């Protein structure tokens, strides 16, 4: 079951935290993350707009916009506004009721008739959507029916480019594994030119040579650069071709120079090697790469309040140790190779110096399938810097997870079992199979068995 629209909208508008349960759902559910990101983009302009007075220009603009709503984010619905002393309470199920409520709370002394009040509310709604720092800027993009579609600040379609059959958010969500819809596409001013760019991984049935590259478009739809990763890897026992495909992307200004860097996971076409790369957002060239011997699910930025240096977190599984892994890198640590056994140690490459590298213990006292590997399937970074880590037996499908709670020093303070774990135990009991006792002592042993390569 997905998170309901009202919860996503209200949390985005109020800039509040989700409950722990909803946060874990959001970490696992790409569909809900995409909807939530859309609301965040829309409500991001509210604070600035509340400080701006009504003008003849915005009133005229709203009157032209009212007959036909310009964006699916704002379906036109009835609004009921009830006076509450010198303030007003807006009662409505639509997407902009909460925004209107906050608007009138900003102006408690305003006295308006009912008709004027409703008109002002609608003016506010559409002037908020129509606000655009640059006429041609892009604020949102999506994959739909094979096309990359870009929208400007008024919510109108700015341009569309055909990418490939199968390039569709719903299709990608079903076929591309955990985290894909979250991180195959981003819209941001990545090169500090005051206009947004679109950075894209071409999933679906795009030609092979295009799927191997990350593509960056400017606000007008022109290709600024493409970036691929080609590195022959040799270990003591194996040699791999230089064919890699991008799997995840994220951007952040980890070095605090005012210009964000782009980070990406590239995976080998057939085998386990994964590289985390840092990409120059102006030229599209790779400046550094970090080798990890195993599947990595996603990249996330760790930057809670009070953090001196933001970190890049990655998580998944280690083929070298057949265990779940969580690692943290600073901007100057995107190089070398991760902890590995001797057979998977790259030749001619130096060991890395991660800020943190955690190997979680084998959690499951039963074998659900010999073909599955334990791994970190999702993480939830809390406001205080603590992290909730989900370790699953089949980390690609989020089956039977354990939850490890880490403090802001990455020390484990508690371990608990997820719902899928107890469902699996019940199934084993019904089948008459022996079941290991999983109690507080078992959880405590797991907590004390995390292996820290960097601490």
pLDDT tens digits for 338-351?
Answer: 998 888 888 889 99
Question: From the centroid of its chain, how far is CA 276?
Answer: 16
Average pLDDT over residues 431-436: 76
3-state secondary structure of 88: strand
Record the tokens describing residue 225, joined without a space: 């650069």
Binned at pLDDT 50, 70 and 90, residue 408 comes out as very high
pLDDT value, residue 199? 95
> Does 206 or 5 have the greater pLDDT score?
206
Percent of the chain past pLDDT 70, that is, above it, reads 71
User: Which tens digit of pLDDT belongs to each residue from 47-90?
Assistant: 444 444 445 554 444 444 333 333 333 333 333 333 333 333 33
Record the tokens describing residue 442, joined without a space: 């078992």
> Does 12 or 230 have the greater pLDDT score?
230
pLDDT value, residue 262? 94
pLDDT value, residue 372? 61
> Does 260 or 356 have the greater pLDDT score?
356
pLDDT value, residue 396? 52
pLDDT value, residue 237? 82
pLDDT value, residue 271? 77
> Does 40 or 405 have the greater pLDDT score?
405
Record the tokens describing residue 425, joined without a space: 């135990």
223 pLDDT more than 60: yes
Q: How far is CA 225 from CA 20, 108, 289, in A?
A: 39, 50, 19
37 pLDDT more than 80: no
Percent of the chain past pLDDT 90, that is, above it, reads 33
Rounded to 10 degrees, the C-alpha dihedral 323/329/335/338 comes to -20
- Lowest pLDDT segment from 34-48, 250-264, 300-314, 375-389: 34-48
CA distance 184 to 248: 6
Do 139 and 153 form a contact (C-beta atoms < 8 A)? yes
**Domains (ranges, CATH) in the chain?**
46-130 (no CATH), 134-228 (2.40.10.480), 229-455 (no CATH)
Query: What is the rounded average pLDDT for all residues in the chain?
Result: 76
CA distance 313 to 295: 14
Do 260 and 301 form a contact (C-beta atoms < 8 A)? no
Do 161 and 198 form a contact (C-beta atoms < 8 A)? no
CA distance 451 to 448: 9
404 pLDDT more than 60: yes
> What's the pTM?
0.69
């Amino acid at each position: 079951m997905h998170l309901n629209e009202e919860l996503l909208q209200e949390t985005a508008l109020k800039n509040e935290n989700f409950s722990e349960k909803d946060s874990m759902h959001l970490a696992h559910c790409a569909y809900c993350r995409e909807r939530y990101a859309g609301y965040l983009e829309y409500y991001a302009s509210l604070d600035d707009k509340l400080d701006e007075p009504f003008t003849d220009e915005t009133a005229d603009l709203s009157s032209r916009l009212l007959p036909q709503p310009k964006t699916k984010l704002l379906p036109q619905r009835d609004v009921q506004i009830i006076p509450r002393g010198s303030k007003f309470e807006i009662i409505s199920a639509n997407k902009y009721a909460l925004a209107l409520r906050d608007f009138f709370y900003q102006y408690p002394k305003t006295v308006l008739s009912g008709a004027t009040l409703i008109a002002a509310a609608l003016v506010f709604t559409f002037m908020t959507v129509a606000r655009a720092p640059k006429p041609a800027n892009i604020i949102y993009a999506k994959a739909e029916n094979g096309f990359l579609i870009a929208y400007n600040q008024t919510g109108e379609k700015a341009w569309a480019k055909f990418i490939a059959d199968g390039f569709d958010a719903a299709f990608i969500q079903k076929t591309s594994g955990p985290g894909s819809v979250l991180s195959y596409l981003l819209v941001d001013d990545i090169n500090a030119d005051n206009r947004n760019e679109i950075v894209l991984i071409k999933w679906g049935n795009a030609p092979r040579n295009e799927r191997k590259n990350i593509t960056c478009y400017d606000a007008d739809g022109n290709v600024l650069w493409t970036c691929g990763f080609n590195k022959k890897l040799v270990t003591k026992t194996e040699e791999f071709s230089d064919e890699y495909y991008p799997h995840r992307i994220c951007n952040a200004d980890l070095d605090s120079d005012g210009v964000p860097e782009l980070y990406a996971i590239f995976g080998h076409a057939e085998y386990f090697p994964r590289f985390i790369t840092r990409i120059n957002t102006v030229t599209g060239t790779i400046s550094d790469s970090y080798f990890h011997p195993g599947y990595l699910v996603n990249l996330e930025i760790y930057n809670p309040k009070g953090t001196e240096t933001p970190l890049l977190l990655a998580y998944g599984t280690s083929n070298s140790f057949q265990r779940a892994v969580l690692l943290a890198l600073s901007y100057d640590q995107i190089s070398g190779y991760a902890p590995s056994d001797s057979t998977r140690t790259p030749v001619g490459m130096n060991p890395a110096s991660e800020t943190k590298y955690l190997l979680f213990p084998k959690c499951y006292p039963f074998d659900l399938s010999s073909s599955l590997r334990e791994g970190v399937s999702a993480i939830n970074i809390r406001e205080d810097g603590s992290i909730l880590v989900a370790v699953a037996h089949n980390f690609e499908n989020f089956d039977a997870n354990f939850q490890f709670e880490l403090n802001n020093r990455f020390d484990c303070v508690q371990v608990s079992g997820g719902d899928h774990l107890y469902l699996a135990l019940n199934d084993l009991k019904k089948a008459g199979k022996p079941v290991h006792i999983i109690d507080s002592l078992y959880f405590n042993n797991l907590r004390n068995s995390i292996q820290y390569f960097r601490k």
